[in-house]
Amino acid sequence: MGKSEQVIVIGGGIVGLAIAEKLIAEGHDVTLVEKDEIAAGASQGNAAGLAFSDIMPLASPGIIKKAIKWFLDPVGPFSVVVPDLPHTMGWLLRFLKAARPSQFNKSISVQATLMHLGKKTFPEMLERNGLTSMVRANGGLHLYQSEDSYKADLEKWAFRKKHNIAFECYEGQALHDFQPGLDKSFIAGIFAPEWQSVSNPLDFCKAIHKAATAKGLKTVYGEVEKIADTQVTLASGDVITADKIVLAAGPWSSRLSEKLGDPVPVIGERGYNTTLPKTAFEGLDHTLIFSDHAFVVVPLSDGIRVGGASEIATVDRAPNYQRSKAMMKKAEKLLPGLTNKDGVEWMGARPAIPDTLPVIGYSSKSNKIIYAFGHGHLGLTQSTATAELVSELLAGRQTSMDITALRVNRF
């Protein structure tokens, strides 16, 4: 353990919480700054998955054909809000560029390395805080209704196999024996046994915050207006000082990084879900991934969550809950025994970067400011890996992996 420093972590989502917890564990004096409530954004309503097998970038050669069709459907799995295009077109063009084979293969390698680091560090964090009981290895089952879709995804699983990610294939009746209750149209499934789930994302975030607070974490509620080397200025005019500052404010991070001379193409990629009572579908143990429809069905400790989709819009646009309703209609067809009653709808903005890789590293202005944002769908999964890298950067140690591809100057 090195020198103890005063550190400000901006952002009370899962990534900021994991960083704060890790720095507290290393003996630093940490203040967490959050503009709303703990896990007020995407961290509270996500799909609860530790998707360590999910190394395939969203920006991929195969996504382009699908995306063109999806873009035209206002409630489709990947849609664009047309009035917001002046603000989001630049991101979309970068997304298409990132889908080129050369960038795609590079992103896979980096994601795989991050996932391996996450598999190592997540159990360590749970053990430090007595939270092991809040995570279980329930596995993720990817489902297919056509041979073409199944064979196309098998090629992606070949990439995963190269990175030592295990999977099992179930075809025909074997699939329906493995997961009862599926519509008869499903002909195959690929099961990822390393997929894990937290009991409830909001409860999990609050538990981390409570544990870190008991160890000395201080929390300040207020919106950050400006970062300057060792100072954070709040919208209220209050100024907080520290030796180091970590920016982990999700989709709101780019506004602050741009003021530091580091423009980052981050948007709030909006996801929707409906959380149903636990009795809505009997016998659900695995996370079900409907890849062709871009949503998942997840067993939580207190319910069943049907969620997913990607809506490209500005962060402040009002939710379009027709998207969650459309997902529920599909879910009822694909899971005939699902009871769509007493559901609670939700929308959250994921911090998405076109190449599907987060920004982790020093700001261009100062090594006293560290960036850690832009994890997209993988904030929970990669939270402890990010915390490990941030702790190493803060202490000036060799990082556990090469972070060149994650630095802010790649844009």
pLDDT digits (tens, 9 = 90+) for 345-371: 999 999 999 999 999 999 999 999 999
- pLDDT class of 105 with cuts at 50, 70, 90: confident
Q: What is residue 124's predicted lDDT score, i.e. its pLDDT?
A: 98
303 pLDDT higher than 90? yes
Residue 380, phi then psi, degrees to nearest 5: -65, -50
Q: How many angstroms separate the first and last alpha carbons of the chain?
A: 34
Q: What is residue 96's predicted lDDT score, i.e. its pLDDT?
A: 86
57 pLDDT higher than 90? no
pLDDT digits (tens, 9 = 90+) for 156-189: 898 899 999 999 999 999 999 999 999 999 999 9
d(C-alpha 254, C-alpha 256), whole Å: 5
Q: What is the DSSP string of 314-357?
A: -TTSPP-THHHHHHHHHHHHHSTT----S-EEEEEEEEE-TTS-
Nearest to 322 by CA among 81, 42, 48: 81
Tokens of 241: 């000082």
Beta-bridged to residue 296, according to DSSP, are 289, 307
Q: What is the DSSP string of 201-236?
A: HHHHHHHHHHHHHHTT-EEEES-EEEEETTEEEETT
- Reduce the secondary structure of 27-66 to three states and give it as a string: CCEEEEEECCCCCCCHHHHCCCEECCCCCCCCCCCCHHHH
Taking each continuous run of H as one helix and of E as one strand, the counts in the chain are 11, 21
Mean pLDDT, rounded, of the chain: 93
Query: Higher model confidence: residue 67 or residue 328?
Result: 328
Residue ranges of domains in the chain, CATH in brackets: 1-61+100-135+196-265+355-411 (3.50.50.60)
- pLDDT class of 80 with cuts at 50, 70, 90: confident
Nearest to 351 by CA among 295, 271, 269: 269
Q: What is residue 64's predicted lDDT score, i.e. its pLDDT?
A: 67
Nearest to 349 by CA among 273, 269, 265: 269
SS3 397: coil
Length of the chain (residues): 411
Q: What is residue 69's predicted lDDT score, i.e. its pLDDT?
A: 67
d(C-alpha 34, C-alpha 368), whole Å: 20
CA atoms within 13 A on the CB side of 83: 4
Nearest to 62 by CA among 147, 149, 140: 149
- pLDDT class of 291 with cuts at 50, 70, 90: confident
Q: Are strands 218-221 and 29-34 parallel, antiparallel or unpaired?
A: parallel
Model's pTM, two decimal places? 0.95
pLDDT over 70 for what percent of the chain? Answer: 96
pLDDT digits (tens, 9 = 90+) for 200-210: 999 999 999 99
d(C-alpha 150, C-alpha 157), whole Å: 10
1 pLDDT higher than 60? no
Nearest to 384 by CA among 130, 157, 67, 114: 114
d(C-alpha 353, C-alpha 91), whole Å: 8
227 pLDDT higher than 80? yes
Q: What is residue 74's predicted lDDT score, i.e. its pLDDT?
A: 60
Cα maximum dimension of the chain: 64
**Sign of the CA dihedral running 350, 74, 313, 356:** positive
d(C-alpha 57, C-alpha 358), whole Å: 12
Angle, alpha carbons 211-214-216 (nearest 5°)? 115
Angle, alpha carbons 52-41-244 (nearest 5°)? 80
78 pLDDT higher than 80? no
Helix (H) or strand (E) holding 182, with range, is none
Which range (73-77, 115-119, 389-393) has the least confidence?
73-77
Burial string for 23-51 (b: 16+ CB within 10 Å, else e) reads bbbbebbbbbbbbeebbbbbbbbbbbbbb
